[in-house]
Amino acid sequence: MLIIIGPMVKAMVWLREKLLREEPPRWNSLPEISFNMFRCILIQDIRIHSSIQAYRFIFIGWFFYSLLMISLYADVMIAHLAVPSFEKPIDSLYDLLGALKHRGFYTVLGCGSNNEFIYSSTDMKIYQDIWELFDRDEGCIKTWDEGMAKVLSGKYAFSNNRMGAEVRAYKLGRDKFHFAEHEFYAHGYSIACPNGSPYRNVFEEVLVYLMSCGLVHKYVRDEMERAVEFVGDANKGLEPIGIKHLQAAFYLVLVGNVLAFTVLMIEMMKKPNAVNDLP
């Protein structure tokens, strides 16, 4: 817009000179006009002065455009600087170990759960190192809801089943949580039957049927959609400033130029002799 406004003012000067036989103002050069428009958008004084209404409408429209643009971008800059810094995400067991050692985090595990058993009983060193730093007073929880609430209350990393955690995250606000990219062990459910039980083959057929026909995935989608209903519009977040937010500024410039050219047409009708004298 800054590139266009200078030629637009220059076009108005040229039209008034040709159509109304007016003497061009002393600031009629394109570089001087463009420089003054640039000074305006930097909130400095404009050294162009005119008593002609057509020019005034253009200048007023450009002034309000500059004011609105600077206000918007100043707010964006302040908001950007005011955003608090985020903790480095924990995406692996090694990230978790580093957070426990150097960043004051606590591991959150369900008391008596499979997760606690894996950390406490495995021979892998990474699990052993994390288990040695595990604080039961801070990290032992009885329910998933309690674990998700702890994550929001401070520096806690909750280790549990992903699907169940995501369902609860959508209820509490999905944008408030970060899920690790790497899964640290395969989690599944099974049905235990006595050795040689005739029910095993039946259960296997039913489970294969449920998976192959997509019922399990449908149950997951239904549960996730039901959780999303609790979110509403609260988790949509702020949108970046786009062209739709700046429409008002462009409308101000457009209105100023339309009024300026309207005044020019009115002056042409009031001075028909000047128009008739054109070669």
pLDDT tens-digit profile of 80-121?
555 555 667 888 888 889 999 988 899 998 888 878 888 888
Residue 235: pLDDT over 70: no
Of 34-43, 46-55, 90-99, 193-202, give the range with the top mean pLDDT. Answer: 90-99
Across residues 156-166, what is the average pLDDT? 83
pLDDT at 278: 46
pLDDT at 245 over 70: no
Is pLDDT above 60 for 216? yes
In this prediction, residue 144 carries a pLDDT of 81
Angstrom CA distances, 144 to 12, 113, 138, 167, 201, stand at 70, 11, 15, 11, 33
Beta-strand pair 156-158/140-141: unpaired
HSE-CB for 100 with a 13 A CA cutoff: 22
The pLDDT of residue 212: 75
Higher pLDDT, 150 or 183: 150
What integer pLDDT is reported at residue 229 of this predicted model?
55
In the chain, which segments carry CATH 3.40.190.10? Answer: 93-192+199-228
Residues in the chain: 279
Lowest mean pLDDT among 92-96, 168-172, 251-255, 262-266: 251-255
Q: CA 25 → CA 9, 15, 218, 263, distances in Å?
A: 12, 13, 74, 17
Is domain 93-192+199-228 in CATH 3.40.50.300, yes or no? no
Identity of the highest mean pLDDT range in 34-43, 74-83, 119-128, 215-224: 119-128
* Nearest CA-CA partner of 130 in 165, 98, 155: 98
Q: What is the pLDDT of residue 111?
A: 85
Phi, psi at 261, each rounded to 5°: -70, -25
Q: Tell me: the pLDDT tens digits for 20-31?
A: 777 777 777 777
pTM attached to this predicted model: 0.42
Q: How far is residue 58's CA from residue 258's CA, in Å, rounded to a whole number?
A: 9
Separation CA 190–CA 140 (nearest Å): 25
The whole-chain average pLDDT of the chain stands at: 75
Pairwise CA distance, residues 146 & 156, whole Å: 12
| Burial letters 54-83, b for 16+ CB under 10 A, else e | bbbbbbebbbbbbebbeeeeeeeeeeeeee
pLDDT tens for each residue of 132-143: 999 888 888 888
Reported as a pLDDT band with limits 50, 70 and 90, residue 45 is low
- % of the chain at pLDDT higher than 90: 3
- pLDDT at residue 275 in the model: 46
* CB 41 within 8 Å of CB 2: yes
Alpha-carbon span 278 to 257, nearest angstrom: 24
Per residue in 166-215, pLDDT tens? 888 888 888 888 888 777 665 556 667 777 777 777 877 877 777 777 77
pLDDT at position 258 over 70: yes
pLDDT at 106: 92
